[in-house]
Chain A
Amino acid sequence: MHDLVLKTLGIGDLLAWLGVPDGSLVYPIVASVFPLIFLILFALLAVYAERKVSAFIQNRLGPMETGPWGLFQTVADILKLIQKEDITPTASDKILFFVAPVLVFTGTYASLAVLPWSNGFVGADLNVGIFYLLAISSLVVAGLLMAGWGSNNKWSLYGAVRSTAQIISYEIPAGLAVLTAIVTTGTLNMTGIIQQQEGLFFGYLFASPFLFVAFIIYLIASLAEVNRTPFDLPEAESELVGGYHTEYSGMKFAMFFLSEYGNMFVVSAIAVSVFLGGWLTPWGTVPSYGMGFFWILVKSLFFVFFQMWLRWTLPRFRVDQLMYLCWKVLIPIAFACLIGQAAWVVYL
């Protein structure tokens, strides 16, 4: 589907004019640059937004000095990170230490491939789109574990072990919640899932009580999957200093940072696509290309804001409470939802 993306953006014609033959690898590579640009732009703005949101919650102004209203603050941050010395601790496992941030970033970047931006406008329209998303986002776990182990720092190791336990545990309720929706759609294809929600007010949100509960479960579990408050134990700065990225600096740290903010968007976009009708309008009609992009962005950004809002309001859970919430509360309810929705689909 990358040709459609290129066509829409007008790049395909440009490449053809430059004499790149059809079916060349150049097309998908060029197409894949756009999600990267989007990711970086999003992270730039999200970090700025996070600072402003936190500032307004805390009766501050936030960044005000760098550019108008401090708009270039994040640019300055990135410039600072680029200039920084790239430190690799002497006692660290050099290979793991280097690979970890790359792997974490890959997990985030690769998930953008199947996100449906608008009607038919999707990087790779896989049959198993949502399955691919759930699978590829688990790549992050391996990266975090590598970072924790490779740093050869006890605090990093704690952070890595915590995040592994947490992300793997919370994949289950998240997966079950998504499965509840898939029972209704009958397809794993992202575009298919959204098309099934046509004509429904706010997609599947109010379609059945089970889907509504499943949506809330997904929302909670996704917070845990991206290590956001109240589930930010892996990087709990008051307990574990910096968690798995304690020893990282410069661009390697920036990669973790970028993927953290990218993940915020990805989980929001999944929630929106599966439960809120993705690029459909809130009242369930099919919009034009541009408006589809607008709607999925607006819906997703609301949930990104929601994550920031929670972060600056709530305290943090303890490890055992985190696990209790997952295994004894969310998973049973998610199973009940799945069974209930299956019955709903069959009998209603």
Chain B
Amino acid sequence: MPHLKTEEMIMNMGPQHPSTHGVLRLELVTDGEIVKSITPHIGYLHRCFEKHGEELTYPMIIPFTDRLDYLASMNNNHAFVLAVEKLLNLEVPRKVEFIRIIVAELQRIASHLVAIGTFGADIGAVTPFLWTFRDREIILNLFENLTGARMLYNYMWPGGVSRDFPKGFREELSAFISYFRPKIKDLNNLLTGNHIFISRTANVGILPKEVAINYNCTGPVLRGSGVNWDLRKDDPYCIYPEFEFEIPTGKGTMGTVGDTWDRYFIRCQEMEQSLNIIEQALEKYPVDDVSDVQAAVPRRIKPPVGEVYARAENPRGELGFYIISDGGTKPFRVKAKSPCFVNLAVLPALGQGIMISDIVAILGSLDIVLGEIDR
């Protein structure tokens, strides 16, 4: 019937939509269930982080970094603190480095749990979401015990951390590790190997290696495309070289390299690697060192004139802070290089000729946090 023609429809997905993971607005051009193009519109959560950074002293910026990627506050703190320490040329005590690694990896697990859970919920499986939040709760309780806060910690300071491990913290942590390892297997049984789940995610939203590199994707999105790039190995910071762990990369087990399933499964594997790192860190932890964790924190942070870029491997990719100092107590300019912003940018490239249900799956596998995209 050639005389029948279909018309394209413009759909507005978000900013109030259950699976745009925050206040993202997607403008879809659809032909029935088929999506012709996607245009992301951002800025609904813009909070002037970078401008605030120019008006605040260095320690005062740290709570603001918490609110970038609010699911990985520890890692944000870490990246910012690394930048300030680089600017100050500050030596960090070994005990502090251990504490930082442990909390950073713990935060990575918590963040991946949210990513996996919400991804499952996007696909339509609600139970994994509650299972992952149950396990994340334990991590949040540990953090609450450690820092007094559950999500926004303001924990890492230049040269140190705000508090030492409380009594019994390391034992609780070991108990969590032995509790959590079987839970990953449970999760894989429930979700990862599910036939419907595989058919929804395998061969969907394939991100080729070259495209991922050209768009400057980082984190699980890049590794899902089969690129072995992790700052913890390739540009080591902190004391990561002392630990043995693997960098999981996408292998196309269920479909093609770089598909949605690969990006999802990277996170499952990374949780196990993080557990390995925490285990090793707990083993090597300088137990006899009873020095104050705030000992190396400078009383007054007034870095010399200069500029610095430091980056850290966040759960969602490479978070970088570019700081220009004019010699005062406040930075002249703070620029955050956000991994989520870059990872979201590939969505239009992936979203051609797919179905509406696939957008949700792809968006979930990119695992964006709008707090970091809009800053």
Contact = CB atoms under 8 A, between A and B. Distances in A.
B18 A60 contact: no
B196 interface: yes
Contact of A57 (B121, B122, B127): B127
Interface string B349-370: 0000001111010000000000
A321 B204 CA distance: 13
For B9, B12, B126, the residue with the greatest tally of chain A CB atoms inside 10 Å of its CB is B126
B297 interface: no
A60 B126 CA distance: 13
A119 B196 CA distance: 41
Interface in A216-257: 229-230, 232-233, 236-241
A320 interface: yes
Contact of A315 (B17, B18, B33, B197): B197
Contacts, number: 77
Given A58-B127, A154-B9, A319-B357, A313 B190 contact: yes
Contact of A321 (B12, B131, B199): B199
Given A315-B120, A316-B124, A318-B357, A59 B191 contact: no
A57 B125 CA distance: 12
B344 to A, nearest CB: 18
A312 interface: yes
Contact of B355 (A60, A230, A314, A319): A319
A248 B123 CA distance: 24
B94 interface: no
Contacts of B127: 54, 57-58, 312-313
A319 B33 contact: yes
Given A313-B190, A315-B196, A315-B200, 6 more contacts: A58-B130, A60-B130, A230-B124, A314-B125, A317-B200, A318-B199
A71 to B, nearest CB: 22
A230 B190 CA distance: 14
A210 B130 CA distance: 40
Contacts of A314: 124-125, 194, 196
A182 B56 CA distance: 79
B45 interface: no
Nearest to B135: A59
A158 interface: yes
Contacts of A319: 33, 355, 357
Contacts of B360: 238-239
B182 to A, nearest CB: 14
A315 B124 contact: yes
By DSSP majority rule, is chain B's interface helix, strand, loop, or mixed?
helix
Contact of A318 (B120, B190, B200): B200
Nearest to A60: B130
B115 to A, nearest CB: 15
A318 B121 CA distance: 14
Contacts of A238: 18-19, 121-124, 360
Contacts of A316: 123-125, 196, 200, 357
23 contacts: A54-B126, A58-B130, A154-B9, A154-B12, A158-B33, A229-B124, A238-B19, A238-B122, A238-B360, A239-B360, A241-B18, A313-B125, A313-B127, A313-B190, A314-B124, A315-B123, A315-B125, A315-B196, A316-B124, A316-B196, A318-B357, A319-B355, A320-B355
A312 B131 contact: no
Interface residues of B, number: 30
Nearest to A58: B130
Given A315-B191, A315-B200, A232 B18 contact: no
Contacts of A239: 19, 356-357, 360
A54 B356 CA distance: 27
A241 B20 CA distance: 11
A312 B356 contact: no
B232 to A, nearest CB: 32
Contacts of B125: 313-316
Interface in A318-347: 318-321
Interface string A293-321: 00000000000000000001111111111
B134 interface: yes
Contacts of B12: 154
B241 to A, nearest CB: 39
B199 A158 contact: no
A236 B121 CA distance: 10
Contacts of A230: 124, 196
B301 to A, nearest CB: 45
B295 interface: no
Nearest to B198: A315
Contacts of A318: 199-200, 355, 357-358
A31 B205 CA distance: 56
Nearest to B118: A238
Contacts of B126: 54, 58, 312
Contacts of B200: 315-318, 321
A233 to B, nearest CB: 8
B196 A317 contact: yes
Contacts of A237: 18
A230 B126 CA distance: 12
A235 B19 CA distance: 14
Contacts of B149: none
B211 interface: no
A238 B13 CA distance: 11
A237 B357 CA distance: 11
A315 B196 CA distance: 6
Q: Which 6 A-B pairs have the closest CB atoms?
A: A316-B124, A58-B130, A315-B125, A238-B19, A315-B123, A315-B124
Contacts of B239: none
B131 A241 contact: no
Nearest to B123: A315
Contacts of A233: 357
A1 B12 CA distance: 53
